[in-house]
């Protein structure tokens, strides 16, 4: 019998709920990273662009939903959000945003040494060492949150009007 209830994948463990102390520690890291980014001069839209680009690469629907809303609240345009996956092919992003995005992508694919070298060369031209560090920390943190949400299969629920 081909019943959708029998074919449904088993529910995943929401590891954030199952291990709240570990998740709370990750949230605290995220708060420290957000403060570090602000102190380094990375604006909130740049942080959200990093969060979104890495969530695109990792395919994390839940984090894409959360950080799209956060980026819009921070003043990011829907046009730039729509083109973010092709940021290298547009003139819509500043030199510092491009450098931060390249560093974030290199952090997400650490085995690609050539990408790391190119990202650092670009970043050193337009970002301070504090900004370089902050951009990498933002990428490290969103990568961790992506794994939590992907492995937990956090749902993206329709909003009123969707």
Query: What are the pLDDT digits (tens) for 101-143?
Result: 999 999 999 999 999 999 999 999 999 999 999 999 999 999 9
CA atoms within 13 A on the CB side of 23: 13
In the structure encoding, which two tokens stand for residue 151, read together? 């492995």
**This model's pTM is above 0.85:** yes
- pLDDT per position in the chain (162 positions), as tens? 444 445 556 688 999 999 999 999 999 999 999 999 999 999 999 999 999 999 999 999 999 999 999 999 999 999 999 999 999 999 999 999 999 999 999 999 999 999 999 999 999 999 999 999 999 999 999 999 999 999 999 999 888 777
* pLDDT value, residue 4: 45
CA atoms within 13 A on the CB side of 53: 32
Query: Among candidates 20, 48, 43, 71, which has minimal Cα distance to 142?
Result: 48
User: How large is the C-alpha radius of gyration of the chain?
Assistant: 17
Q: For the chain, which domains are there?
A: 33-152 (1.20.1290.10)
* pLDDT value, residue 151: 96
* pLDDT value, residue 5: 47
Residues 6+ apart with CB under 8 A from 145: 26, 30, 60, 63
CB atoms within 10 A of CB 91: 5
Residue that the structure tokens 């650092």 belong to: 120
């Amino acid at each position: 019998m081909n019943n959708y209830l029998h074919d449904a994948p088993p529910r995943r463990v929401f590891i954030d709920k199952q291990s709240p102390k570990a998740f709370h520690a990750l949230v605290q890291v995220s708060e420290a990273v957000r403060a570090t980014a602000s102190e380094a001069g990375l604006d909130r839209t740049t942080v959200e662009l990093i969060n979104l680009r890495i969530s695109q690469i990792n395919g994390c629907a839940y984090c894409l939903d959360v950080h799209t809303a956060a980026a819009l609240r921070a003043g990011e345009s829907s046009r730039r959000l729509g083109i973010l996956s092709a940021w290298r092919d547009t003139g819509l992003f500043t030199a510092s945003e491009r450098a931060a995005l390249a560093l974030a992508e290199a952090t997400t694919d650490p085995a690609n040494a050539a990408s790391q070298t190119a990202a650092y060369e670009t970043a050193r031209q337009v970002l301070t060492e504090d900004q370089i560090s902050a951009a990498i920390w933002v990428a490290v943190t969103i990568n961790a949150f992506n794994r939590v949400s992907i492995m937990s299969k956090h749902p993206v629920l329709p909003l009123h009007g969707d």
